[in-house]
């Protein structure tokens, strides 16, 4: 059984920030959660606004909650808003149902090791930075 370590989480964050710099994104906040939804690491770039840690964590938590990336949640928020509202209520409001929450897997369709949530730029750019972070540790991303 693989485990998401602090060292791995720190590499994910560094690579996500590097991707953000490459794409000239706004300041990012990156949250990395383990498979149980516990925070392993969180980092905010200078200039990141005050709610970004909660948003990034909510994206990662949402991915873990439904077993796929938050792009799926976003699509369901549009087509089945009652479902996403109920899910968010059941989670105590912890889920942010927009792209930028990505599962970390051990290979395609493999074991879920955790999730990355990023907030700060557009949701698509947040997701791209999350995928880059996951790839940097040699794991597979699941955007939903």
At the second CATH level, the architecture of 6-142 is 2-Layer Sandwich (3.30)
d(CA 87, CA 125): 25
pLDDT of residue 1: 63
With beta carbons less than 8 A apart as the criterion, state whether 102 and 142 touch.
yes
With beta carbons less than 8 A apart as the criterion, state whether 27 and 44 touch.
yes
Q: Is 35 helix (H, G, I), strand (E, B) or coil?
A: coil
Domain boundaries, the chain: 6-142
Output the CA–CA distances (angstroms, integers) from residue 90 to 25, 50, 65, 82, 134, in the order listed: 33, 25, 11, 12, 28
What tens-digit pLDDT sequence spans the chain (144 residues)?
689 999 999 999 999 999 999 999 999 999 999 999 999 999 999 999 999 999 999 999 999 999 999 999 999 999 999 999 999 999 999 999 999 999 999 998 899 999 999 999 999 999 999 999 999 999 999 998
Q: Residue 37 has which token pair?
A: 């939804």
With beta carbons less than 8 A apart as the criterion, state whether 73 and 66 touch.
yes
Residue among 115, 95, 110, 98 nearest 40 (CA): 115
The kind and range of the H/E element at 32 are strand 29-34
């Amino acid at each position: 059984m693989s485990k998401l370590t602090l060292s791995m989480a720190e590499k994910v964050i560094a690579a996500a920030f590097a991707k953000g710099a490459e794409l000239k994104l706004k300041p990012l906040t990156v949250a990395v959660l383990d498979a149980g939804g516990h925070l392993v690491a969180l980092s905010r770039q200078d200039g990141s606004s005050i709610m970004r840690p909660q948003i990034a964590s909510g994206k990662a938590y949402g991915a873990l909650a439904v077993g796929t990336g938050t792009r799926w949640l976003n699509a369901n928020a549009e087509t089945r808003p009652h479902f996403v509202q109920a899910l968010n209520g059941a989670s105590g409001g912890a889920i942010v149902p927009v792209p930028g929450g990505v599962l970390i897997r051990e290979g395609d369709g493999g074991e879920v090791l955790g999730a990355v949530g990023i907030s700060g730029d557009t949701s698509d750019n947040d997701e791209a930075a999350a995928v880059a972070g996951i790839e940097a540790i040699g794991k597979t991303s699941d955007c939903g």
